[in-house]
């Protein structure tokens, strides 16, 4: 059973560093929760 | 089912499987069979992760959940992006660099063989049980809605999944998942558009959204904290983060998807795609359920959507007043809904408030009658805690969607079943061969030997899933138990991996004791508290970490003293 070969750790295709991508995902989560909250209030 | 439906159904399924097998050519080494030779692009892994997570039951019951309880369920996914970021930043590079086939293989590198064996057996136990339920649950819904023999549905689904999973390995599973997700997206969009088009001429899309909101069906966010409330923003953000961390960090059925990536970056992108896409997708599915609710404001639905149970209680004397009250409540709600739409069009605020109160009151009356009908089912020998939520969406599909679209939506159910089931069977076979067979039975076999063992293990787990599904009716409430079993074990597994990644000083024995303590704590919470299952993962994980650290601290002291 051969082990898979080494795997490179490339930078992301956008925002240059992974840290920035993670921050962007967290901001996205905040926005989506806020929009869902507004949606709930608007149609309550 | 009309001719067009059969053509669409079989056309979709055959093309999915043929494409999966075509892309899986050359899976003739263990590395290629179990990890696709580390060659998968991020988008294929992303859709495969999504497909494996979304079983048919999730899809069928989510729409029904929204129909009866609104869109609150979407909050259970608020923890997903947080979990995906943590897994991408920590677990993905570690697993890739450790060059493992399974998540549990890493535990031996970090701790010892007994921790690896315990984690593998926990996984095989919980995932082995749920593989049967994945096949059985949609089969029973299809058998009642379409009148198909349950065993035949189980056999067709099981045989198809086993065939392409055994032949093509993870490549076939992944590429089939991609096709299956395309069919699922197509079917869902078609269902929503058709549902809106079927509304009365006088009711616009804006009116439909307004009516759904007025009946509290668009309650996507609830901020009130309650331990026993399954879905609120707090259990979603904190409880479900731990659930998804467990699922994507420790469950081989998911770990194996992103281990097939050609680089760490590709694996991360596949997870982060899910972090971004999953909440809108769930929102969309729940919104379909809310629109089905609006559709049934104007077309009278049956008292209960589970036709077999409804047929059984139909001739009981106690059912006649229920039916009569239901008729009245429905008509009252329909009039109130039309009145509310008219008041909205006229901009008459006083009439709006009046009609809104009447509409909600009528909805409560209708809900009460449905509860009475459900109790009648239970009292007349039906299943306990009867619920027809899983039957709502497919009842709507089969009765009101045009020819061709019914076939497409049934293909969606099959596709969701096959994608979830193939991922489970494939990962069960991988853990059986890599973590147990290769470790304890044949330690120095050839690559060809382990490839054959992997194919046989896939066949065996597939057969077990079909057998278990075949006994589903006799097992009855075990399905509920199986769902609970998953949440009972995930927390301890997660705790084990958290200790592995974050606390270098902790050894195998300490984490092993920690896992046992974590399990005891979760079973205590399950037995003696009524808290939502989403919290079990947090409790289990916390107890494993704290106990492991305590055991390490206590066992380290005498050693230090003796050295001095």
Mean pLDDT of chain B: 86
Give B151: exposed, middle or buried? Use CB within 10 Å, 0-12, 13-18, 19+. middle
Comparing B68 with B272, the larger pLDDT belongs to B272
- Which of A8, A25, A32 is the closest to B263 by Cβ? A8
Residue B478 has pLDDT above 60, yes or no: no
Closest approach of chain A CAs to the CA of B100, in angstroms?
8
Tokens (6 digits) for B96: 């890739």
Confidence of residue B558 (pLDDT cuts 50, 70, 90): low
Tokens (6 digits) for B119: 């984690």
Residue B417 has pLDDT above 70, yes or no: yes
Within 8 A of A5 by CB-CB distance, chain B residues are: 38
Identify the CA nearest to B80 among candidates B234, B275, B221. Answer: B275
Classify B40 as helix, strand or coil: strand
pLDDT in tens, B212-250: 999 889 988 888 877 666 778 888 888 788 888 888 988
Q: Is residue A5 part of a domain?
A: no
Number of independent structural domains in chain A: 1
Tokens (6 digits) for B544: 């494993």
pLDDT in tens, B67-106: 988 898 899 899 999 999 999 999 999 899 888 999 999 9
- Looking at chain B, the whole-number percentage of residues with pLDDT higher than 70 is 95
Closest approach of chain B CAs to the CA of A15, in angstroms?
13
Residue B440 has pLDDT above 50, yes or no: yes
pLDDT (0 to 100) of residue B480: 54
Residue B512 has pLDDT above 80, yes or no: yes
Q: Is residue A43 part of a domain?
A: yes
Q: Is residue A38 part of a domain?
A: yes
Within 8 A of B263 by CB-CB distance, chain A residues are: 7-10
pLDDT in tens, B154-204: 888 888 889 888 988 888 888 888 888 888 888 889 989 999 999 988 889
**Residue B79: closest C-alpha in chain A:** A29
Q: Is residue A29 part of a domain?
A: yes
Residue B101: how many other CB atoms lie within 10 Å: 25
Interface test with A, best of B213, B256, B259, B290 (most A CBs within 10 A): B213
Mean pLDDT, residues A7-21 taken together: 87
Residue range of the domain that includes A35: 14-44
**Residue A11: closest C-alpha in chain B:** B265
pLDDT (0 to 100) of residue A2: 46
DSSP code for B102: S
Mean pLDDT, residues B436-458 taken together: 91
Within 8 A of A32 by CB-CB distance, chain B residues are: 279-280
pLDDT in tens, B49-62: 988 887 777 778 88
pLDDT (0 to 100) of residue B64: 87
pLDDT in tens, B308-352: 888 888 888 888 888 999 999 999 999 999 999 988 888 888 888
Identify the CA nearest to B177 among candidates B21, B52, B273, B59. Answer: B52
pLDDT (0 to 100) of residue B564: 40
pLDDT in tens, B370-400: 999 988 888 887 777 788 888 888 888 888 9
Within 8 A of A37 by CB-CB distance, chain B residues are: 220-221, 223
Q: Is residue A33 part of a domain?
A: yes
Within 8 A of B96 by CB-CB distance, chain A residues are: 7, 9
Closest approach of chain A CAs to the CA of B428, in angstroms?
18
Contact B183, B419 (CB under 8 A): no
Q: Is residue A8 part of a domain?
A: no
Closest approach of chain B CAs to the CA of A41, in angstroms?
8
Could you give the residue ranges of the DSSP H alpha helices within B99-204?
103-110, 113-146, 150-197
Contact B434, B255 (CB under 8 A): no
Confidence of residue B428 (pLDDT cuts 50, 70, 90): very high
Identify the CA nearest to B303 among candidates B399, B370, B243. Answer: B370
ipTM: 0.89
Q: Is residue A42 part of a domain?
A: yes
Q: Is A9 close to B210, i.e. CB distance below 8 A?
A: no
Confidence of residue A4 (pLDDT cuts 50, 70, 90): very low
Contact B537, B242 (CB under 8 A): yes
Residue B273 has pLDDT above 90, yes or no: yes
Classify B273 as helix, strand or coil: helix
Within 8 A of B450 by CB-CB distance, chain A residues are: 1
Q: Is residue A9 part of a domain?
A: no
Q: What is the value of pTM for the model shown? A: 0.86
Q: Is B447 close to A22, i.e. CB distance below 8 A?
A: no
């Amino acid at each position: 059973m051969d082990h898979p070969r080494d795997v490179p750790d490339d930078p992301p295709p956008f925002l240059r560093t992974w840290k920035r991508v993670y921050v962007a995902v967290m901001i996205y989560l905040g926005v989506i929760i806020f929009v869902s909250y507004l949606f709930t209030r608007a149609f309550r | 089912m009309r001719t067009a439906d059969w053509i669409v159904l079989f056309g979709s399924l055959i093309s999915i499987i043929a494409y999966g097998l075509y892309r899986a050519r050359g899976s003739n080494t263990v590395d290629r069979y179990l990890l696709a030779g580390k060659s998968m692009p991020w988008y294929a892994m992303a859709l495969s992760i999504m497909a494996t997570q979304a079983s048919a039951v999730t899809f069928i019951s989510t729409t029904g959940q929204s129909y009866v309880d609104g869109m609150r369920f979407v909050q259970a996914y608020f923890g997903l992006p947080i979990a995906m970021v943590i897994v991408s930043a920590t677990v993905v590079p570690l697993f890739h660099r450790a060059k493992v086939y399974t998540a549990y293989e890493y535990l031996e590198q970090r701790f010892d063989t007994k921790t690896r064996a315990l984690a593998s057996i926990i996984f095989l136990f919980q995932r082995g049980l749920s593989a049967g339920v994945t096949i059985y649950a949609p089969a029973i819904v299809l058998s009642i809605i379409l009148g198909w023999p349950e065993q035949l549905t189980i056999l067709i689904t099981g045989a198809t999944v086993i065939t392409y999973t055994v032949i093509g390995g993870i490549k076939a599973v992944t590429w089939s998942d991609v096709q299956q997700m395309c069919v699922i997206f197509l079917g869902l969009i078609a269902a929503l558009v058709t549902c809106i088009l079927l509304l009365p001429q006088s009711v616009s899309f804006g009116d439909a959204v307004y009516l759904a909101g007025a009946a509290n069906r668009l309650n996507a966010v609830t901020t009130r904290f309650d331990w026993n409330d399954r879905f609120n923003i707090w259990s979603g953000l904190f409880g479900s983060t731990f659930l998804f961390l467990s699922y994507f960090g420790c469950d081989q059925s998911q770990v194996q998807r992103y281990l097939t990536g050609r680089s760490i970056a590709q694996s991360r992108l596949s997870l982060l795609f899910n972090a971004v896409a999953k909440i809108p997708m769930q929102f969309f599915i729940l919104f379909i359920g809310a629109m089905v609710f609006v559709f049934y404001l104007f077309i009278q639905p049956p008292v209960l959507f589970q036709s077999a149970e409804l047929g059984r209680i139909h001739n009981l004397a106690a059912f006649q007043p229920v039916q009569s009250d239901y008729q009245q409540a429905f008509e009252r709600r329909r009039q109130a809904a039309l009145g509310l739409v008219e008041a909205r069009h006229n901009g008459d605020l006083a009439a709006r408030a009046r009609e809104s109160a009447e509409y909600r009151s009528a909805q409560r009356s209708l809900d009460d009658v449905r509860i009475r009908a459900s109790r009648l089912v239970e009292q007349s020998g039906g299943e306990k805690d009867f619920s027809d939520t899983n039957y709502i969406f497919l009842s709507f599909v089969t009765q009101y969607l045009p020819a061709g679209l019914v076939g497409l939506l049934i293909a969606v159910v099959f596709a969701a079943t096959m994608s979830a089931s193939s991922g489970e069977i494939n990962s069960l076979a991988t853990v059986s061969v890599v973590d147990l067979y290769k470790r304890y039975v044949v330690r120095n076999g050839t690559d060809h030997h382990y490839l054959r063992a992997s194919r046989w293990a896939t066949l065996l787990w597939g057969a077990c899933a079909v057998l278990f599904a075949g006994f589903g009716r006799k097992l009855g409430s075990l399905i509920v138990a199986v769902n609970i079993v998953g949440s009972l074990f995930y927390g301890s597994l997660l705790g084990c991996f958290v200790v592995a990644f974050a606390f270098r000083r902790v050894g195998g024995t300490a984490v092993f004791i920690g896992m046992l303590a974590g399990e005891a704590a979760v079973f205590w919470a399950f037995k003696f508290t009524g808290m939502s299952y989403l919290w079990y993962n947090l409790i289990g994980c916390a107890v494993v970490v704290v106990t492991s650290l305590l055991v390490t601290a206590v066992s380290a002291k005498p050693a230090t003293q003796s050295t001095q």
